[in-house]
Amino acid sequence: MTKQVVAFLLDCTDARVIKRMRGFKNNGYQTVGFSFRRKLYNLEYQPEWNNISLGETRPRAYLHRSFMMLKALMKIAHHRKIISKASFLYVINLDQAFLAYYAQWISRTKVPIVYEVADIQSPFVSRGLFGKILRWVERYILNRTHLLVITSPAFFISYFKPIQNYRGNYFLLENKLLPPYVPTRIFRGVTGKFSPKRVGGKQWIVGYFGILQCQKSLEIIKKVADLLPKQVVFYLRGPAISANINIKQVPNIIYGGDYKNPQDLLDIYQQVDFVWCFDFCQEEHNSRWMLPNRLYEGGYFNLPMIAPQDFEIGKYVERYKIGWTFEAPYEDSLTIFFKNITLESYLVVKKNFEKLPLEQFASTKDFSRMCMIAEQRCST
C-alpha cells in the first residue's frame, strides 16, 4: 500500500521544510505539500515534491497573511480528495495546523495530524488577550493532534508542559543534517579534523551563519570587532533581513552574502575556527529554549561553539565540552576570551568532538523513528 504524507508549509523554500520533505521521501512516502512562499532567500528553489502553491506571504505582515490564509481555505477545499488519501497530515507551526484541521473537516475524514513546533513566537507567551486566544487555539489543536514534534527539549520543559499543560505524545526531532543531503567533510590538520585557521599569530575567525536577523548579536559582534582588530575576524553569511547596523565600516567583519543550504556548508564552515551560537531575537523564551541549526552544522564539521550561558544551546555546549559559554555583558566576556585564548586550549576543546558519534549531528535515524511513531500513533 502506498504511503502518502500531505504537509502544510509556511515557506517551501525554507531549509527546514526542504529537509522534512526529503526525509519523508527517503522513508518511502509520496509527498504533497500545500505551501506558501516567502521571497526572502533561496529564491531560485523549486519544490522537489508535488506542490500546491497557496501564494506569497511576507514576514510580520499579519493582515496580508490573514487574507492569504482565507484564500488558502478555498484552494484546500478544491483539493480535498488529496487529503482523504493521506496516511497523516504533517504541519509546521500553528497557522498550518489550523489549515490541516480545516482540511480534515472539509474532506470529511479523520486523517491524523502530526504537529511540529519549530519556534515558539512571542505572542504565544504573551499575557495579553491575543496571547491567551492563541494558547487556547493551540490547546484545541493539541487535543486533536496525534503526535507533537519539537526540535528542542526545552520547548516541552518550559512551554508545553507548564504553560499548555500538555500531557500527550511528543517526539524530539533535532535539527540535524539529513544524509545523503550533506557535504563531504574534509579532514586535515593536527587533530585529523579541520585545522585551526589561526596560524602564526593571525586572527581567530568566527562564523555567524543563517538568517542574520538578531540585532543584538550584530551589535555585540561590532563592539568586539572594534576592540580586537588584531585578534578576531567575524565572517557572516546569510540573508540580512532586519540588520540595521552598518558592518561594512568595520574591516574585520566580512559579509559574504547569502548561501545555499546544504550545498554551500562545506565552503563556509571550513573557513572559520568558531561558530557563533548566540541568538537574542526573542531572548526571554524562544531564543533561550531553541537549539539552532548552527549547532548541528558546526558540530558536523567539528568546530567549537561560542554560546550564552543558561540558554539551552549553552547547556548543550557545556554538557559535551564542545565550546565555551559566556555571561552578560557578552561583549566584555567575549573580549576577555579572545584576548587570552591559546591554540593549545582551543585544540583541547576541538579534540572533544572525536568522542562524539557523527549521528549526533547528522542522521536519518531520528526522522525514520519519528515516521514510525507517527504511523503507530495514527493507527490507534
Examine the domain organization and report whether 325 and 342 are in the same domain.
yes
Query: Residues 257, 288: one domain?
Result: yes
Query: What's the pLDDT score for residue 183?
Result: 81
18/147 same-domain check: yes
Looking at residue 188, what is its pLDDT? 44
Whole-number pLDDT of residue 100? 93
Is residue 189 assigned to a domain?
no
Select from 337, 281, 291, 342 the least CA-distant residue to 314.
Answer: 291
Could you tell me if residue 285 is inside a domain? yes
Chain segment 178-226, per-residue pLDDT in tens: 998 888 775 544 344 445 665 456 899 999 999 888 999 999 999 999 9
* CATH code for position 302: 3.40.50.2000
355 and 367 co-located in one domain: no
Structural domain containing residue 107: 3-176+363-378
Instruction: For residue 199, tell me if it sits in a domain.
Output: no
Total-model pTM: 0.92
Q: Are residues 252 and 332 in the same domain?
A: yes
In the chain, which stretches have pLDDT less than 70? 1, 40, 58-64, 186-201, 241-248, 379-380
Q: Are residues 212 and 258 in the same domain?
A: yes
Statement to judge: residues 167 and 266 lie in one domain: no
Q: Per the domain annotation, does 192 fall within a domain?
A: no
The predicted structure's pLDDT at residue 195: 54
Domain assignment present for residue 181? The answer is no
Q: Are residues 236 and 348 in the same domain?
A: yes
Cell numbers for 358, please give them: 557523527
Assess whether 140 and 222 both reside in one domain. no
Assess if residue 198 is contained within a domain.
no
Total domain count for the chain? Answer: 2
Is residue 306 assigned to a domain?
yes
Are 213 and 155 contained in the same domain?
no
Do 30 and 145 belong together in one domain? yes
Residue 185 lies in a domain: no
112 with 90, same domain: the answer is yes
- 3-class DSSP string for the chain: CCEEEEEEECCCCCHHHHHHHHHHHHCCEEEEEEEEECCCCCCCCCCCCEEEEEEECCCCCHHHHHHHHHHHHHHHHHCHHHHHCCCEEEEECHHHHHHHHHHHHHCCCCCCEEEEECCCCHHHHCCCHHHHHHHHHHHHHHCCCCEEEECCHHHHHHHHCCCCCCCCCEEECCCCECCCCCCCCCCCCCCCCCCCCCCCCCCEEEEEECCCCCHHHHHHHHHHHHHCCCCEEEEEECCCCCCCCCHHHCCCEEECCCCCCCCCHHHHHCCCCEEECCCCCCCCCHHHHCCCHHHHHHHHCCCCEEEECCCHHHHHHHHHCCEEEECCCHHHHHHHHHHHCCHHHHHHHHHHHHHCCHHHCECCHHHHHHHHHHHHHHCC
